Amino acid sequence: MVDEKVMKTCKSFLGDVAACKDDLDMSDDENQTYLKMAENLSPEDVSKVLELALKVRESGKIKDPEVKNEASKIIRALQMS
């Protein structure tokens, strides 16, 4: 069972990732998939968001501290749940 707080953090993070799609080498289709996922996020999607959060946190190309912080929040929240 996924906590509602985790779901809200995931939605926020997915919205922020759209601004970094070039730094993550995401195609437009992948970006649209994540944006749609943010609109209709389900507990089954959380593992995909976690994978993306790990990529963002470890990426040397992404310099936006807000996006990096959101990624770290998701990772911590999932570790604690």
Is the backbone of residue 59 left (phi > 0), alpha (psi -120 to 50) or beta? Answer: beta
Output the pTM of the full model: 0.76
Asked if pLDDT for residue 40 goes beyond 70, the answer is yes
Neighbours of 3 (CB within 10 A): 14
The mean per-residue pLDDT over the stretch 55-70 comes to: 87
User: Of 18, 9, 10, which is closest to residue 49 (Cα–Cα)?
Assistant: 10
Long-range contacts of range 25-33, CB-CB < 8 Å, 24 or more positions apart? none
Is the backbone of residue 35 left (phi > 0), alpha (psi -120 to 50) or beta? Answer: alpha
For the ranges 4-8, 36-40, 48-52, the maximum mean pLDDT occurs at 48-52
